[in-house]
């Protein structure tokens, strides 16, 4: 095998929940959702190098996250039974840009990017559907990153219908707090009875985020940032937070508000995407290395 097919560099994007309705709770404690996922072009980068030592290494270490708990490591382990050659291993370099615990799905995205890359480098030849089915065992958000299209999602977030959305610019703000998804979903004041919508209505009418009130209650800084952003338009919370976002028609207006954002909060201007940047790059890679991929 030549060098071009033993290495791969992929972007690992964030997502936004343009709305997040909780319509019920399952017996296992997981919540039934209706949510609209769109990717944004704010990404981590993962560099993969194939080895033949049967090891999975990830560098640099993420502070306070043992490698065994890193979703990248767990994703690689999930694919191990499907490797074409048991000696295959992988060295992964993670360049982190996405804040953790922000409701933008960085960990889930990293796991999905790993499944997609190793499926090719380890010649597992699994379908996207099979990879999504494996991924959901690690997190409810992983299937949408595996499938790679903007989607209306139901179930726990894994039943996906592809949608074509406007692609505005977003101002994204990260208040200085880390929200625990588990804590929000177990709060007794969380409302879990939003009536289910048909997809056509959901796309026409939009929606709200049922987690907002509970997240603001636990995290005063989210409340403060929300009130600030609301002065500039229809501010929204993504997932279980802590990140907030606001849509703009053009980059200049978004950047103008970003420059006025209190400096104690991290802020970015990014663009909504209907196709995951991971898939855009992976498809190019596969095209360039097609003959080797098929072996
Ligand atoms: C809320 C959402 C919306 O996109 O995003 P985030 O804010 O985490 O990014 C997701 O559903 C989160 O997905 P993910 O972060 O993968 O969640 P998981 O690891 O599967 O679950 C974390 C915890 O959240 C709760 N959970 C998660 C999803 C769901 N539909 N119902 C739940 O009750 C469970 O208690 C679980 O223990
Ligand atoms: N590769 C990873 N990147 C980020 N977080 C990870 C990763 N692997 C495991 N985690 C854990 O998952 C948690 C949630 O991460 P993340 O997906 O970025 O946030 P959120 O679910 O709020 O969008 C982190 O706080 C961290 O403990």
Note the pLDDT tens digit of each residue in 202-253: 999 999 999 999 999 999 999 999 999 999 999 999 999 999 999 999 999 9
User: pTM of this prediction?
Assistant: 0.96
Cβ atoms of 37 and 105 within 8 Å: the answer is no
Q: What is the pLDDT of residue 189?
A: 95
Q: What is the pLDDT of residue 5?
A: 65
Tokens of 63: 């502070």
Which ligand 2 atom lies nearest to the CA of residue 108?
A: 17
> Which residue has its alpha carbon closest to ligand 1 atom 30?
156
Q: Ligand 1, from 181, 185, 207, 214: best to mutate by most atoms within 8 Å of Cβ?
A: 181
State whether the beta carbon of 67 lies less than 6 angstroms from ligand 2.
no
Q: What is the pLDDT of residue 93?
A: 98
Answer yes or no: 141 catalytic: yes
Tokens of 93: 């370099």
Distance 158 CA to ligand 1 centre (A): 11
- Per-residue pLDDT band at 4 (split at 50, 70, 90): very low
Ligand 1 site, CB within 6 A: 17, 20, 29-31, 33, 35, 103, 105, 108, 139-141, 156-157, 181-182, 185, 239-240
Answer yes or no: 85 catalytic: no
Enter the CATH code of domain 3-294.
Answer: 3.30.230.10
Mean pLDDT over residues 98-115, rounded?
96
Other Cβ atoms less than 10 A from the Cβ of 67: the count is: 14
State whether the beta carbon of 181 lies less than 6 angstroms from ligand 2.
yes
Cβ atoms of 111 and 15 within 8 Å: the answer is no
Q: pLDDT > 90: what percent of the chain?
A: 94
Cite the annotated binding site for ATP by residue number. Answer: 99-109
Is residue 290 scored above 90 in pLDDT?
Answer: no
State whether the beta carbon of 109 lies less than 6 angstroms from ligand 2.
no
Which ligand neighbours the alpha carbon of 140 most closely? 1
Segments making up each domain of the chain, as ranges: 3-294
Q: What is the pLDDT of residue 292?
A: 73
Catalytic one among 141, 174, 210, 216?
A: 141
Across the chain, what does the average pLDDT equal?
A: 95
State whether the beta carbon of 177 lies less than 6 angstroms from ligand 2.
no
Q: What is the pLDDT of residue 1?
A: 45
Residues 150-172 have pLDDT tens digits of 999 999 999 999 999 999 999 99
Q: How remote is the C-alpha of 154 from its chain's centroid? A: 16
Residues 244-283 have pLDDT tens digits of 999 999 999 999 999 999 999 999 999 999 999 999 999 9
Is residue 114 scored above 80 in pLDDT?
Answer: yes
């Amino acid at each position: 095998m030549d060098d071009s097919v033993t290495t791969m560099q992929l972007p690992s994007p964030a997502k936004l929940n343009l709305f997040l309705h909780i319509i019920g709770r399952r017996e296992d404690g997981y919540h039934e959702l209706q949510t609209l996922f769109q990717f944004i072009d704010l990404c981590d980068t993962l560099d993969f190098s194939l080895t033949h030592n049967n090891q999975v290494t990830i560098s640099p270490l993420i502070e306070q996250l043992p490698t065994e708990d890193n979703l990248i490591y767990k994703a690689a382990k999930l694919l191990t039974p499907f490797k074409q050659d048991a000696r295959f291993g992988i060295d992964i370099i993670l360049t982190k840009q996405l804040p953790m615990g922000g409701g933008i799905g960085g960990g889930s995205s990293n796991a999905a990017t790993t499944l997609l890359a190793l499926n090719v480098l380890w010649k597992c030849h699994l379908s996207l559907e099979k990879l999504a089915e494996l991924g959901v065992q690690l997190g409810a958000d992983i299937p949408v990153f595996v499938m790679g299209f903007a989607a209306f999602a139901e179930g726990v977030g894994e039943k996906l219908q592809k949608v074509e959305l406007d692609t505005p610019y977003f101002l994204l703000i990260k208040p200085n707090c880390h929200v625990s998804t588990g804590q929000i979903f177990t709060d007794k004041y969380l409302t879990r009875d939003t009536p289910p919508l048909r997809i056509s209505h959901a796309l026409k009418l939009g929606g709200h985020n049922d987690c907002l009130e509970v997240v603001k209650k636990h995290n005063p800084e989210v409340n403060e940032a929300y009130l600030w952003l609301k002065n500039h338009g229809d501010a929204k919370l993504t997932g279980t937070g802590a990140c907030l976002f606001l849509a703009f028609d053009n980059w200049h207006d978004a950047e103008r508000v970003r420059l006025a954002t209190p400096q104690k909060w991290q802020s970015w201007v990014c663009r909504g995407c209907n196709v995951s940047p991971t898939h855009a790059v992976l498809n190019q890679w596969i095209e360039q290395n097609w003959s080797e991929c098929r072996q």
